[in-house]
Chain A
């Protein structure tokens, strides 16, 4: 069955970086885009960016440009999201999710369980 399993919660200091992993199984990793979405406490969903696991290219939301990098390892079917220069308002649950690349594909039909990142001194 399709699974996206994320790394454990993180506590980071302001100015530090965090790298979250998303281990996938049960589907062809390179045929589904990987998205990253975050949700601050009590707030809505915020789209961060999308990565093509086949070629490794990524598109980031403008507000994260220069601070975020999305990568993948096709040998282990894992995706990664690194966010740098952390601030307190980066405290959020971060989700990975997949999107079918097919022309009639589904949007985010499977999500990881979420990774809580807390930024505090």
Chain B
């Protein structure tokens, strides 16, 4: 099975900072990569799909890039409401594995 590795596992940044999270697939998955945001105690929400397409209603400070095996999620200007854990997920085929998550906090 393809493994999904996220880094870092956690980060702390200041409001307004640019934040980048990386997700690596152990084999190529094309652009079948999604990013989810999960705030504490809440249901995960889809942010980005097809590696770089912003889901409806998601603020434009979020962006995604990459294809094949290396993908990134970028928050261009971190806001207090972005405190959450972010997960990548491959969805080209089963099993649709998630990364282990990146916890984002405000410094």
Contacts and interface: CB of A to CB of B under 8 A. Distances in A.
Interface residues on A, range: 20 to 34
Interface string B36-75: 1010000111100110000100000000000000000000
Interface residues of B, number: 23
Interface of B: 1, 34, 36, 38, 43-46, 49-50, 55, 85, 87, 89, 91, 94-101
Given A99-B91, A106-B55, A109-B55, A44 B34 contact: no
Interface of A: 35, 37, 44-47, 49-50, 59, 61-62, 95, 99, 104, 106-109, 111-114
Contact of B96 (A35, A104, A109): A35
A108 B98 contact: no
Contacts, number: 57
Nearest to A95: B43
